[in-house]
Amino acid sequence: MTSESILREGLAALAIDLDDQSVDLLLRYFTELGKWSKKMNLVAKGDDRTLIETHFLDSLTMLPLLRRQAPENSLLDIGSGAGFPGLALKCALPELPITLAEPRQKRVSFLKHVIRTLKLPTIEVWPDRIEPDPATNHRFPLITSRAFADIAGFLTACQHLSPDNGLIICMKGPKYEEELTVWRDSPLAEQFRLKDIETHLLPFSKKERYLVIFEKKEI
């Protein structure tokens, strides 16, 4: 199967509808990922089917949620790495303003290369670590991460970047319940409310993925 047929099959299984332009952007991104992965360790090795499911389709499970948000809401992807989920979501939802936070210089170079190559608008790379600095003026209505930290650690790291009623979307595997227990016993339970948990089944491996969604309480 070609990478396009794998991607389209996975999208159909997830009931995600994308136009041809978005599919083309994702495939070009996948091609650049393959080229750069020959020179540096961007993602774990695997065949096309595994890579497309593990990174691209997994990232796109958040797309229905983002489509329900106001179009001007900006998304911060913390610890973006090779661009997942933020860059994949940008290909699928070009109008969404996105910031990719990634401190590792080689990955920053890759992200900027893909953004230039695909001519993606309203997306920038934040080449620095996320530090708990309450004085920062940056605020993002939507914040996410795929593998930055456990739930309590992630909420601690990004709480100063979220406005009141902002959403923080944690992408997790089946062990998310253990992390929720830790969060409930922490002071963070007073600052965030658990808004929803969405369950998704990846189309090929049938692995369970969860979007654990928090809302920052008004002060």
Provide the domain count of the chain: 1
Q: Mind giving me the DSSP string for 76-114?
A: EEET-TTTTTHHHHHHH-TTS-EEEE---HHHHHHHHHH
The per-residue pLDDT for range 58-113, each reduced to its tens digit, is: 999 999 999 999 888 999 999 999 999 999 999 999 999 999 999 999 999 999 99
Measure the CA–CA gap between 210 and 81, rounded to whole angstroms. 20
Quote the pTM value. Answer: 0.94
* Residue-range definition of the domain harbouring residue 89: 3-216
pLDDT of 144 reads 97
Q: What is the CA angle 27-28-33, rounded to 5?
A: 95
Residues composing the chain:
219
- Environment class of residue 186 by beta-carbon count within 10 Å: exposed (0-12), middle (13-18) or buried (19+)? middle
Measure the CA–CA gap between 18 and 114, rounded to whole angstroms. 20
CA atoms within 13 A on the CB side of 39: 8
**Do 4 and 193 meet the contact criterion of CB atoms below 8 Å apart?**
no
Measure the CA–CA gap between 53 and 58, rounded to whole angstroms. 6
Please state, rounded to an integer, the average pLDDT across all residues of the chain: 93
**Do 173 and 167 meet the contact criterion of CB atoms below 8 Å apart?**
no
Statement: residue 133 has pLDDT above 70: no
Q: At 10, which CATH number?
A: 3.40.50.150
